[in-house]
Structure 1
Amino acid sequence: MELDNISEDDFYPNMFWVEFESEIFKQMEGATEPYDDAPFELLNPTRIRYYFILDSPPIDIGEYLVGDKIQMYITPYLAISETAFVRWFMEPSELSRSGENITMLTEGADGILINGIRDEEFGHIRAVVYDFTKEIPGKVAVGQRLFDIRKDISKTCTGNIRSTHTCRCNDGFEGNGVHCLDVNECTEGTSYICLPGATCVNTPGSYKCQCEKGYEGDGIYSCIDIDECLLQHHSCSPNAFCVNTLGSFTCLCQTGHFGDGIHCIASSTWTPWSPWSVCTATCGVQNKMRIRACTHPESGMRCEGPSAELMGCEVLTPCPVNGQWSEWSPWSPCTASCAGIKRRVHICDNPSPAGGGVPCSGPPEQVMPCGNADCQVTGSWSAWTAWSPCPLSCGMAIMKRSRTCNAPVSTESVTYCAGHSQQERSCGFPVRTKF
């Protein structure tokens, strides 16, 4: 909480409070306590609301003896209007939000008279001013001042007259009774009463022996080591062990951490291995994998060893492999200089069929004609066509048949065939002459 501009109505008896969220409350331990603000809240116990009181420094009225007359006014310290009224309270040094042990002395006046102060009336007197404001109907607290009446412990007087005949200095003070000064026992040879290591501290009218830091006691009879670890009065890291020593303590980082004990950084370590990945293959070969991570990179350390591991899956049957042709071999030399052929082959071994796989499809060999295109090519005769019909039914006639010289390949060269492409023969019967 931060208040940028404090105003008069920010001070006591007004209070500030903070309430923790329920998730934080679940993590807190200990008994609950009720609200004290209103009666109905007594039925709603809670530990998640905390109150803060903003108070001003007290105005020192001075030192007085029992029986003195004291008169105080608020107007020198705070301007008040004609409609305002003032309530004067006597309160303890330690405030509480419930307002217990606060006694109202008087109200309505801008000053207060204490005619013969009693021993129990020394301490804090508070004046609270109530007046009208624009925002709120009725009179509310608009300002306050706290006064401190200190008891003079330096002297004891009888009667109402302060003189060297009626007053005397108390033990621990020296003077003529009217003016008494504190005796510094620590410079008057009293310090030898304190234990070795303890320090003499002067106080008004007396002194005290203060044990050195890390010890507790009266400094006169005992100075006992304070176990800061047991009392949780240490600054060790939550990841450190607190070890008590004489007058102090030391912090040691726990296993798996390093540092000075006040600040402990977790060492980098491997997380547990993840489960192995699932094998999805039903045949052939497959690996499964597991991984782990190196924690706390902020330490600047590296974890030793691999972050991943591979392991073969259980024995699987070989998968069927379909055959694939290898690359074609180079063409073979031409078998003839004019009308030859050349060949090339490929093999079904890239890969070879296995495990019931399909063999390669298609011929393993290719043949292509080759040779010089200008060479004369010896062709071959086709089959003879059928003989043409005989044109005459009597007498002699001629019928024919033919054949074609076919080249073995498509070429622009001249094709030659041995023999004739046509044949003729006679047909019919000769005419018989009558005699």
Structure 2
Amino acid sequence: MLRFLIPIVILLILELYTFFSVRALTTNKFILIGFWLVTIIVYGIFFYQMSLTQREGRFSLSTGYAIALALTFVVPKLFIFAILFIEDILRFFASLFNYFQHNGMTVGEAIPSRRKFISQLALGIAAVPFAGFLYGIFKGRYDYRVIKHTMYFDDLPKAFDGYTLTQISDIHSGSFDNKEKIEYAVDLINEQKSDVVLFTGDIVNAVAEEMNPWIDTFKRIEARDGAYSVLGNHDYGYYAYNSQEEIDENHRKMEEVHKAIGFDLLLNEKRTLERNGEKLHILGVENWGASRHFPKRGSLRKATEGVVDGEFNILLSHDPSHFDYKEMEIREHEKKDPEVVTDEPNILNFEKKIQLTLSGHTHGMQFGIEIPFLNFKWSPVKYRYPRWAGLYEEAGKYLHVNRGFGVLAFPGRVGIWPEITVITLKKRQKVA
């Protein structure tokens, strides 16, 4: 009960502060009554849709828009609260000063009234995130960015010098609602003319059927050496089905979806590309991440069977926590859930060298700030996934985390735009 009571109290405080801000600007009873009517309607829609989602076990478009409405409505009020709360602290000390400075003054007379200017300032500042959320919902979610990296490796086979990869991740087709924009994004993928396309999981929100209306669109993806894919945590059907039979049937349908698109689905497997007698391995593992809430079916050992020292490996692993998770963290989860798999090594310490790992999963939380020319990026998701977007390197091994193609839950993106990644592999020239 307490876990519900605390959010309700917080929301009530936000609404009261916003109401006081509005009331400081107008006493029109229709506006003030309208404020509370709109508040009740917004929360009513949100809680109704969330109850449907809980019963059905999957996110629908209507649920996404209910979440968007609530966030657009609530987040700006955090700014109003912050400004007015600071003013209230100052008013409190001013009240104490007035009360003790002026004999005979009542408590009510000692309290300064709220200044109209402060309320105007609070509402003006709140308009910025309000506009940002509206942009993110209607424009930002389809504002695809092509991000290019050139990576140098000492052990890249010479035949693959200049080889190009296009990575996409987290399609989440169940959240699509604009065919024209999706077709534009697929055309943008093909415009890169990469040698290979690599997809790193979460093609749907919950069930394989979500992808059916979009198969003809995504089957247009082209690359000389084909397209390879893996599954993400949302692709197994665990969010929609309870019985193992239904989960297995969803898995069968998921394999059919990847095949229909032309994606070669790697289930703890490898594919070997050859040029001029030299090899490059594309490895793909099923979902594996540090969180105990997500399926753990990935196996580096199975995916690297037949791989020998000195060969160049590119790994597709949906969850970036697979790269360097700490075993102690998993052990703590194991105490709560005996089914957690603990014998899967992390990529960083795996006995076979994996030069480049491609992941997704985080979406950059679909919210954050990035200033490329300052090399600055921030999103709240960094406190859950320290490696959450872009390139990372440790001990000569690289991880790239794609910001995602689609959206989940909140149908928008604010500051963290959908990403199509293009990576060019280059052989580092030895200095004589």
Please, what TM-score do these two structures have when normalized by structure 2?
0.18
Structure ranking higher in helix proportion? 2
Structure ranking higher in strand proportion? 1
**RCO comparison, higher one (Cα < 8 Å, 6+):** 2
Please, what TM-score do these two structures have when normalized by structure 1?
0.18
